Amino acid sequence: MGEITIERVYDYRADPQRAGAVFLVDRLWPRGVSKEDLDGVTWAQDAAPSPNLRIWFGHMADRFEEFTSRYRSELDGHPERAEPLLEAARSGPVTLLYAAKDPEVNHALVLKAWLEEQQSEPE
């Protein structure tokens, strides 16, 4: 199984050289980022939180625990949405790109943890 890392999309643009597969995991395209900036990056918007959950969360730190629970429920209910990420991780390193400002309160952290748990489960 490959290592899964997360990174802000704006940092990635400055130095886009990464080993393995790179996925943008936001539902909305990040502001100020062109498609050319992310050439070779797969947009996995289906793996992002649902629109209603994203809006409810609003990146509020005091909602992060409840957001984590709700987002994990979405992923558990529709694991096929994250299957391309899991497939890539089975064959090498994966980088998940996100646009949120806070590196400690964002959906990419939850998605990374969920993917790592899926990797460790027997098939």
**pLDDT tens-digit map of 80-112:** 999 999 999 999 999 999 999 999 999 999 999
pTM greater than 0.75: yes
**pLDDT tens-digit map of 41-81:** 999 999 999 999 999 999 999 999 999 999 999 999 999 99
**Looking at the predicted structure, is the pLDDT value of residue 16 above 90?**
no
What pLDDT is recorded for position 123? 56
H or E element: which one contains 119? Answer: helix 107-120
- Do residues 11 and 83 lie in contact, with contact meaning Cβ atoms separated by under 8 Å? no
Which residues have C-beta within 8 Å of that of residue 12, sequence separation ≥ 6? 18, 22, 38, 95, 97
> Mapping DSSP to helix (H, G, I), strand (E, B) and coil, where does residue 105 land?
coil
